[in-house]
Chain A
Amino acid sequence: MRPEPITVTYLNKYIKDRVAEDEYLKSVFVKGEISNFKHHYTGHMYFTLKDENSLIKCIMFKSSTATLNFIPKDGMKVLVLGSVAVFERDGVYQIYVKAMQEDGIGDLYKEYEELKNKLEKEGYFNENHKKKIPFMPETIGVLTSQTGSVIRDIINVSTRRNPNVHIRLFPIPVQGKKAELEIADSIRIMNENHLADVLILARGGGSIEDLWPFNEEVTARAIYNSKIPIISAVGHETDFTIADFVADLRAPTPSAAAELAVPDIEEINIKLDTYKNRYKNALKKKIEYMKLRYEKCIASKIFTDPASKIKELYIELDNQIKLLENNMINKIKDLKTSAVKTISRLDTLSPLKTLTRGYSIAEKNKKSIKSVKELKKNDIIDLKFIDGKIETKVI
């Protein structure tokens, strides 16, 4: 009896399930060399990982590629982390890569971290050791490769900002073995001969190995010991080399370094003009203000009508005299009134008034007699009438 045949689909499904059950294949860490690398427009990466004897297909989905810190290329030695699974449709098994890094750079990273920690402890990155970048350096010393876009970018940006800038290029190898010695040497020579007011240490982007001379201790020490302020611009904006940490200022790109080193002359000229206008206007204003004050003084009556004060005094004097006169007149009036009053009172009291009404006054020895008791028989008394007096005898 022949066994019942199964379908291809069934077989592949069966293999897929077997593979999926395997704990070991769920997480594999594999080293190998990239070949057949394709970055699909969907963002997924397809490649083959191989060694001398064997190869395996790999796929890295877009969601995982975001964590990559390098651009994979054919021939690159890498370490990948992922799971092995079967792609049923094609009957192939492959690694679904979750993370990937360049092989061999693990050691470099370790070295980098160690040196960074060591120098940090020694105070190489201290802010208070960092020198101020001069505001208007006369000579910009550029330490970089004689060829390539870096020096071109620096010259372009610098001359655009200041057409009269002096750039002094000291060519150095920016990668390769012992490049760090020449870098350190160039810094020393620039310092010893006072060849620049500020230094730009620059290099374009590259792999961590390419940038390595800038992660060497000898480079770090030369930067630290430089009396001339150093702006570093090594690699891409995302690369931080030891040189960047030690430098007095880190620029994200060589062009940015030039911008930091060379002030924009146009801007400075505008500033200068503004200052000129401002101090001119300030003095003009001051003088106008003084003139106004002067004119106000001159416009005063003291100057326009010098006699006015005397006139005022005359008027004042006249007023005073009038006041005095009025006072006097009133006083006299008052006295008169009170005199009339007194006289009229006197008048009513006068005995003469009584006599006119037909009364007479009896006097004895020139004194008026008020009582009968004052009189005796035969006393001679005077009787006064309105029109004369008679002598009378008491009987």
Chain B
Amino acid sequence: MEEKINFEDTMKQLEEVVQKLENGELNLDESIKEFEKGMKLSKSASKYLEDAEKKITILVKNSEGNLEEEEF
């Protein structure tokens, strides 16, 4: 199981990568590094979105008064 990412942070970092690269002030080595970082970030963001699983559930109390989760 991969480590969970903070989606908002990931998007923010991705935005930074784009801005840094578009600024054109980086040297080639740095540019390539940022590019690789961008690829990694967008990949994990896409994966995060794909991995989410549709679930609509309802919490119900069972006879012992404990919460149970059921399909809604």
Contacts and interface: CB of A to CB of B under 8 A. Distances in A.
Contact of A195 (B18, B21, B59): B59
A155 interface: yes
Given A189-B67, A275-B42, A282 B18 contact: yes
A167 interface: yes
Interface string A349-361: 0000000000000
Interface in A141-191: 146, 155, 159, 162-171, 189
Contacts of A189: 59, 67
Given A135-B8, A168-B69, A193-B67, A269 B17 contact: no
5 contacts: A169-B58, A189-B67, A275-B14, A279-B35, A279-B38
Contacts of B38: 275-276, 279
Interface residues of B, number: 34
Interface string B34-72: 110010001001101100111111111000000101001
Q: Report, as a range, how many residues of chain A touch the other chain.
A: 35 or more
Nearest 7 A/B pairs, CB to CB: A282-B21, A135-B8, A164-B52, A136-B7, A279-B38, A166-B55, A283-B35
A276 B21 CA distance: 12
A193 B69 CA distance: 12
B28 interface: yes
Contacts of A163: 54
Contacts of A55: none
A166 B69 CA distance: 12
Task: Please classify the interface of chain B as helix (H, G, I), strand (E, B), loop, or mixed, using the class held by over half of its residues.
Answer: helix
A280 B17 CA distance: 11
A290 B55 CA distance: 50
Interface of A: 134-136, 138, 146, 155, 159, 162-171, 189, 193, 195, 265, 268-269, 271-272, 275-276, 278-280, 282-283, 285-287, 289-290
Given A164-B49, A279-B18, A272 B42 contact: yes
B14 to A, nearest CB: 5
A290 B28 contact: yes
A138 B31 CA distance: 33
A287 B24 CA distance: 11
B52 to A, nearest CB: 4
B17 A166 contact: no
B54 A166 contact: yes
A195 B67 CA distance: 11
Nearest to B59: A170
Nearest to A269: B49
Given A282-B22, A286-B31, A272 B46 contact: yes
Identify the interface centre among A136, A155, A280: most chain B CB within 10 Å of its CB: A136
A287 B18 contact: no
Contacts of B52: 138, 162, 164-166
A163 B31 CA distance: 36
A277 B54 CA distance: 29
A168 B59 contact: yes
Given A275-B17, A285-B24, 11 more contacts: A136-B8, A170-B59, A171-B58, A171-B60, A272-B42, A276-B42, A282-B18, A282-B35, A283-B31, A286-B28, A287-B28
